[in-house]
Structure 1
Amino acid sequence: MTQPTKLDALMDSLTTVQREAASWDDGALMLLAGPGSGKTRVLTSRIGRLLLESDPATWRVLALTFTTRAADEMRSRISEIAPEQADRLLVGTFHSFAVELLRQSGSHVGVRTDFKIYSTQPDRTKLLEEAVKSKGVDFPEPLSKAFFVLDGLRDRLVPPEECAKLFQSQQRAEYFSALYDGYHRHLLEQNALDFPAIIFKCHELLTKYPSIAERYRKTFRHICIDEFQDTNSAQYSLIRAFTGPSYRNVFVVADDDQVIYQWNGASPKRLQDFRIDFEATVLQMPTNFRCPEEVVLMANRLVANNKFRSPGKRPLEAGKSSDGASDKVRVLQFETDEHEASGIAQDIAGGISTRSGTVAVLARTKKILDGIKAALVERGIDARIAQRRDAFASVPYQWLHATLMSANRRADEDAFRAFVESGNALWGFEAEADRLIAEAALGNGDLLQSWANWALQSPASGADVPEVVTALSKNLAERSDFHAFCRTTLGVFDRNHAEFESSFASFDEDAEAWKALYREILNTVGREAPLDTFLQELEMRSKEPPLREGTIPLLTIHSSKGNEFNHVYLAGLAEDVLPSFQSKKEGPTSAQLEEERRNCFVAITRCKDTLTMSWAARYGSWNRQPSRFLEEMLQE
């Protein structure tokens, strides 16, 4: 008898509707999957099945999601199901997929394949300042506020020559057109892209050169998109350009009750567009296996007040049987926001030793989380506000990152100056970047080599410095073994850990972040991947360190998406906080207020065991009433 495979066992473990979704073959399908419904298991089961049941020489599968963490998890799960088929799978975010296409074919739209990605706001601001200066742009508004308009234009896929018609003011139309055109041309001249430009240029590639899109369609027979409700207009247009008029093998997992990124262009309307554009079949998975039954009932009562939902959307069904406990849901009331922070901290401190599993605190705004963090720390509880970090914060890891960037871009003067500046601060050098740039120009133009030659003959503090300089010269300047260089440098960092920890802020956090990122990236791209591929992945990922054991995560509702915790505290359930004052101004039936309701829906459905909600009668100097969402959730 043939032994059952991992896929067989996984398919057997699925419910009837889950198995129906995982067994879907050709054609467009929209899977309406509520929170905790097992959508990741379904998605990975389906992809693994497609790979295993097909001719491996024929085609590949493309899977898109919204975070590198989700992509890594999906890739890992599928690799366990179909380990021999890993090279037939491309899993990534919309941005990483667009980067992949531009690396291969971007020269058609003026993007050379070795383009640089600028993800941090300081880098983008510097590029914009350079564009204004080099192009002679007269821009009367603060440049720091210009990106709101520039990014919005590119998110709407509006090219520079067409943007003027979108402004009501003729004067603003003229100077924003000049700024946009100057910035766009400067990016191309520098062979650089910032994040909004990645989707913009990839869409341009696929629409201007449909034969390229057709070639990729033949390569990727199936497309799977997770968290489809989070797509903005540009991302959806990218998919439409990729698929063309007749490609239909698009499988999306979505939940219109979890659209909470309207500020980034997400909309419940996108689900209706997909159903029409792709003539998609709709399948629903409403059973929630995560939350207590009480929370499932609350979530249904809450979201039933929203009108912008898919036709025929079924309410959530409780998949966990009740254990009869009476404290699954609590509501705590306080006099002030300070009392709320202190009360939550005290409640966590009193129950942390008796409760098993994870504990997390959620709130609509970071300001509320700041107060709760201070109250937790005051009680000796380690807590951290989880938020994306685009750059390393400590000098040692800034230098390590800058060194790899300079090794990959040997003639890039901006990257070299960052490398020299951080190296001076870390190792006690007094290198002059401009002088070394001039010396390199007299030779082969290799800036890193010019620094290595200089540093080998220069005094610097610290007995370990010559070891690092020699490793740089040997492994990076003379050849490209960045793994050997990283091993040597990290060994020096470890030997000097106490000194670096006391001298450089955030050194410990960066050390943890680097180790996690290095491991994740190599698992994604393989150890044999070249330095530019490694750096591309590094640029796309947050530099936030992983949570230590016992640390309480504090998350905004937006950053909690995709997570689950045993015990969830949702703070700030007061009018003008959640829902926000701005959404209330738009009216009780507005799209903005409905999104606030979805924010609350997402927050409460993160819990697995208990949910504690709280509000205060005064926040700052303002008196507040309990949130309308509390009444909606708790009404019988």
Structure 2
Amino acid sequence: MNLDDEYPEELAGARTVAPGLWRPTDIEDLEPTAWEALRHTGNAAVTAGPGAGKTEFLAQRAAYLLQTGVCRAPGRILAISYKRDSAINLARRVAARVPDHAHRFVSLTFDAFTKGLVDRFAQALPSPWRFDHAGYDIQFWYERAVRDFLTEIARNGPAGMERKLYSINAGRFLADTVGIWKLPLNPEEVPASAEEYAAWSWWQEQYLGSRVPTVDFTMLNRIADLLVRSNPRIARALRATYPFVFVDEFQDTTSAQITFLQTVFGHPGVDTTAVGDSKQRIMRFAGALEDAMGRYEKDFSAKRFHLTWNFRSSAELVSAQHHVASKLDPAITQGVSKAKSETGHVPLEIWTYPNEARQSEHIAEWIATDISSSGRSTSDFALVARQKVADIEPTLAIALSRRGISLRNDDTTYGKLRLTELLKNDVIQLLIGVLQLAAEKFGLASTWVETQALLNRINGNEHSVREERTSADHLSAFTSDLRQWLRTNPVSTTDPVSVIQRATLIVEAKQLKAFVRSQHAGDDLALLLEALTERLRAVMKAERSWSQIFSDVAAQDAATLMTIHRSKGLEYHTVIMLGLDDQQWWSYKKDSQEATSTFFVGLSRAAHRVIFTATTPGHRTGGIRALYELLDSAGVKETHWN
């Protein structure tokens, strides 16, 4: 039984190299500890700070395992990430480094993997848990609804449980109570403990007692766990299909997720590699464990490796990051900067303003001047905030637009996808590339190369010179025909639906759907096209030329605006952290540890400069004065702009 029989067999011509002769691809070298972790046999816990190249390490380990034959065909590597764009990014890196083996690397989010198992093998669930053809609904419950449920069962539950049921934390109930309960084969027996009774009652109300079961992703995880526990054949097939498993951002693992990993892959014959950084644990509100990496080391008998090189940030920024990191972990070792240094600017500053309008104007003018004097790209600048970026966007976008600079809000949702997730999808990149080539006949050499490469990947033409030539001819003819269609259909009167429909004709619908499924189990072509259409509709309101419209859709040359949570895993030359005040950081008093971790994530996105801003009076004496004290002790100066 092969869980991935829709993937092609091992490609002819994919050769192996002796482990001792293997060298990294596309990078000069790895640090000594990374070499040890890469070659390690068994379970490995790899801890690394920001800029240490955690994603690159996983890509190189995948290349090593596949190219040396340590991961023997037809075995595959399963990589699990917590964000869709992280999963896509890792898959792209592996495909670029080992194209002959890329089909044996499966990169998914945790939710996509567990949901895919449930959807595929639902009929193998024990009969009391099996749902019918109506399937299930996915819902996300607010804390108030959970609190009402707990109050109800406390009032009407078994005698003696009332006090304990009332004491259950509604905000953590799904993660810490429902998420750790192993579903029994037979759910009829009432549990004896208050916590298990609460979890059992939740399942009775939301799942077992409903015509159409209602679940969230924590519940889907528990169903997938039951599925594997109750079906040894599926368990054996998973372990045979994926003898190597990577888990990225492990510090954000929940109880349900680590239990599921133990159930499925905590067995001899499967090597797991967990990568993370406890200082960047910013998902506690979503159920992240207090010490996920320590739990993993214990449960999986994993060997710890710690990476210290920092390939992203300058020495000055690494020093400042260590200053903040020491507050989160006093025993932390300072990283070693391997980034190229720059001169001519201050690495860390605090800028304060009388109001947001003045802030927007000054930042826009400063970015424009810096780009003009340095030759840097607009995309080298990121503007991040703790929350409420939509409130910041209007005045900032107008100020930047006056200076010919575009602003891209990566947290904007189109259809059911955030912009950052949409634009990183390979199918979306193909369609945007096709539209740009159709709108602009000359001067897009790099777009042509990238679009043709994507077209070859989707059509499976990457290893045939003849088929690649045919594909190039097809792309040329197709964009030429589309160019004529665009000329006769002006922006002002054309429905964006028809534009996207025309572009998708570049590939047969069946082929396009199959590629989407193969890239990410949680993706759906219709969902992607709906999101792209809505993005195009929003941009077309400006009524510019088709060339400018498609360029704006891609937003490749734009400053990025996003929340700090969304910036995790990304890097920029300059980061401007907007709103270092109590309004943005109101949650600091509630959980200073997580807030400091969030602050650390924002600080560590930058390669060379970080600028903190504030527009509210008393920003230094409010609830986040401890953050200002950290910056002061690191020698960061403040400038007030009137």
TM-score (norm 1): 0.65
Structure 1 residues 390-469: aligned runs within 5 Å: 391=415
Q: 2:264 aligns with which of 234, 238, 242?
A: 242
Deviations 1:155-203 (A, max 9, x none): 44476877996589x9xx6xx976752431377x548865444322112
Asked if the contact 1:373/1:385 (under 8 Å) is kept, the reply is no
Asked if the contact 1:66/1:227 (under 8 Å) is kept, the reply is yes
- Structure 2 counterpart of 1:225: 247
- Structure 1 counterpart of 2:630: 632
Paired residues, what number?
Answer: 497
Asked if the contact 2:80/2:247 (under 8 Å) is kept, the reply is yes
Q: Secondary structure at the match of 1:305?
A: helix
Aligned: 1:44 with 2:66: no
Q: 2:335 aligns with which of 295, 310, 316?
A: 316
- Structure 1 counterpart of 2:565: 558
Asked if the contact 1:288/1:316 (under 8 Å) is kept, the reply is yes
Aligned: 1:386 with 2:410: yes
Aligned pair in 2 of structure 1 residues 90, 215: CA closer, same or farther (>3 Å)?
Answer: same
Aligned: 1:17 with 2:32: yes
Q: Secondary structure at the match of 2:295?
A: helix
Aligned: 1:67 with 2:83: yes
Amino acid at match of 1:24: R
Q: Secondary structure at the match of 1:26?
A: coil
Structure 1 residues 90-105: aligned runs within 5 Å: 90-105=106-121
Deviations 1:477-517 (A, max 9, x none): xxxxxxxxxx999999997674667x8xxx69x9789989x
Aligned pair in 2 of structure 1 residues 241, 532: CA closer, same or farther (>3 Å)?
Answer: closer
Q: 1:87 aligns with which of 84, 103, 113?
A: 103
Deviation, structure 1 residue 563? 1.0
Aligned pair in 2 of structure 1 residues 42, 524: CA closer, same or farther (>3 Å)?
Answer: farther
Aligned pair in 2 of structure 1 residues 277, 554: CA closer, same or farther (>3 Å)?
Answer: same
Structure 1 residues 250-399: aligned runs within 5 Å: 250-307=272-329, 313-355=332-374, 356-357=376-377, 358-366=380-388, 370-380=391-401, 381-387=405-411, 389=413, 391=415
Asked if the contact 2:416/2:531 (under 8 Å) is kept, the reply is yes
Asked if the contact 2:37/2:44 (under 8 Å) is kept, the reply is no
Identity %: 20
Deviations 1:351-386 (A, max 9, x none): 34334032110111215x523542331452432332
Aligned pair in 2 of structure 1 residues 25, 148: CA closer, same or farther (>3 Å)?
Answer: closer
Amino acid at match of 2:347: K
Measure, in 2, the Cα distance between the counterparts of 1:384 and 1:164.
Answer: 53
Aligned pair in 2 of structure 1 residues 353, 224: CA closer, same or farther (>3 Å)?
Answer: same
Amino acid at match of 2:300: F
Asked if the contact 2:175/2:286 (under 8 Å) is kept, the reply is no
Q: Higher mean Cα deviation, 27-36 or 213-222?
A: 213-222
Aligned pair in 2 of structure 1 residues 113, 354: CA closer, same or farther (>3 Å)?
Answer: farther
Q: Secondary structure at the match of 2:292?
A: helix
Deviation, structure 1 residue 299? 0.7
Deviation, structure 1 residue 346? 3.9
- Structure 2 counterpart of 1:596: 595
Asked if the contact 2:354/2:615 (under 8 Å) is kept, the reply is yes
Asked if the contact 2:37/2:305 (under 8 Å) is kept, the reply is no
Asked if the contact 2:206/2:213 (under 8 Å) is kept, the reply is no
- Structure 1 counterpart of 2:541: none
Amino acid at match of 1:71: A
Q: Secondary structure at the match of 1:610?
A: strand
Measure, in 2, the Cα distance between the counterparts of 1:50 and 1:289.
Answer: 23
Structure 2 stretches lacking a partner, 5+ long = 1-14, 150-155, 157-169, 418-478, 536-552, 635-642
Measure, in 2, the Cα distance between the counterparts of 1:514 and 1:155.
Answer: 45
Deviations 1:31-75 (A, max 9, x none): 112111122222111112211222744522211112232222222
Measure, in 1, the Cα distance between the counterparts of 2:485 and 2:208.
Answer: 42
Amino acid at match of 1:30: A
Aligned: 1:200 with 2:225: no
Aligned pair in 2 of structure 1 residues 248, 297: CA closer, same or farther (>3 Å)?
Answer: same
- Structure 2 counterpart of 1:53: 68
- Structure 2 counterpart of 1:608: 607
Measure, in 2, the Cα distance between the counterparts of 1:524 and 1:40.
Answer: 27
Asked if the contact 1:115/1:192 (under 8 Å) is kept, the reply is no
Q: Secondary structure at the match of 2:373?
A: coil
Aligned: 1:181 with 2:181: no
Aligned pair in 2 of structure 1 residues 233, 513: CA closer, same or farther (>3 Å)?
Answer: farther
Aligned pair in 2 of structure 1 residues 280, 633: CA closer, same or farther (>3 Å)?
Answer: farther
Measure, in 1, the Cα distance between the counterparts of 2:132 and 2:23.
Answer: 42
Deviation, structure 1 residue 306? 1.9
Measure, in 1, the Cα distance between the counterparts of 2:342 and 2:518.
Answer: 53
Asked if the contact 1:119/1:390 (under 8 Å) is kept, the reply is no
Amino acid at match of 1:184: Y
Measure, in 2, the Cα distance between the counterparts of 1:158 and 1:275.
Answer: 22
